Amino acid sequence: MITMKDIVREGHPALRQAAVEVPMPPSDEDKEILKSLLEYVVNSQNPEIAAEYGLRPGVGLAAPQINVSKKMLAVNVVDEKETLYSHALFNPKIISHSVEKAYLTTGEGCLSVDRQVPGFVPRYARVTVKGWNIEGEEVKLRLKGLPAIVFQHEIDHLNGIMFYDHINQENPFEPIPGALAVER
Ligand code: K2U
Ligand code: NI
C-alpha cells in the first residue's frame, strides 16, 4: 500500500514532467499502480487507517506523485449533494469545459506540498473528462463543484502543473471575476 514515504514532494522532477500515455489495454502492472492510487485516497479518508499509517487525507492522487510518470489518477470525493465520485482512470483528458470559472473558497493544498500556499486557484466550473477505467473501458464524466476542481487538480499533475501555478502572485485572494465560490 502507498504511504507518505512513497509520495514525492516539491522539488522532485516527477512533479514537473509531462506524464506519458498508458498503452491500452492496460498491463497488469499498470492496473496494480492505478488500484494503489485509489486505495491510498480511500485509506487516507478512513480515520483508523490514516492514523495507523500516518496518511495525510486526500481526495485525489496522481501517479507522478508516487514518482510514476504515467497518465493515471484516482479521485474519491463527495459533492455538495453527498454524491460519491470514486474513479481511477488511465489517460484522463478534459474534452470540454465551461467558460465560467470556479474556485475553492479554502484555497487548495497538495499531498506533495508540505506547506500552506494561500490564495484562490481559478478552475473551470464544469468539465467533461474522458478516460479509461481499470478494465480499459472508456469513461466520460460530466463534473461540477468540488469533483470538477479535484479532477482539474489531478489532471494538472499529469502535465507537471502545481495548484499554486494558478494563484495570482500579486494578490492571491483577488476576486476571480464571475467565478463560482465552491465550499469544501
Ligand atoms: O493531488 C493531491 O495532492 C491531493 C489533493 C487534491 C486536491 C487538493 C485541493 C483541491 C482539490 C484537490 C489533496 O486532496 S489535499 C487535501 C484535501 C482534502 C479534502 C479537500 C481538499 C483537499
Ligand atoms: Ni496535488
Could you tell me the distance, in angstroms and rounded to a whole number, from the CA of residue 152 to the centre of ligand 1?
11
* Rounded to 5°, angle at Cα 15 from 90 and 38: 40
Q: What value does the mean pLDDT take over residues 91-95?
A: 98
At 28-64, the pLDDT tens digits run 999 999 999 999 999 999 999 999 999 999 999 999 9
Among the bound ligands, the one closest to the CA of 78: 1
Amino acid, single-letter form, for residue 101: K
Could you tell me the distance, in angstroms and rounded to a whole number, from the CA of residue 60 to the centre of ligand 1?
6
Percent of the chain with pLDDT over 70: 100
Q: 27: which 3 cell numbers? A: 498491463
Nearest-CA residue for ligand 1 atom 7 is 150
Q: Using the 8-state DSSP alphabet, how is residue 106 labeled?
A: T
Task: Provide the mean pLDDT of the chain.
Answer: 98
> Phi and psi for 179 in degrees, rounded to 5?
-80, 150
Q: What is the CATH superfamily name and number for domain 4-182? A: Peptide deformylase (3.90.45.10)
Nearest-CA residue for ligand 1 atom 16 is 58
What residues flank ligand 1, with Cβ below 6 Å?
A: 57-62, 104, 108-112, 149-150, 153-154, 157, 184
Instruction: Render 35-96 in DSSP notation, one character per residue.
Output: HHHHHHHHHHTSHHHHHHHTPPP-SEEEGGGGT--BSEEEEEEE-TT--EEEEEEEEEEEEE
Question: Would you state the pLDDT for residue 43?
Answer: 98
Could you tell me the distance, in angstroms and rounded to a whole number, from the CA of residue 82 to the centre of ligand 2?
22
pTM beyond 0.85: the answer is: yes
At 63-92, the pLDDT tens digits run 999 999 999 999 999 999 999 999 999 999
pLDDT grade, residue 7 (50/70/90)? very high
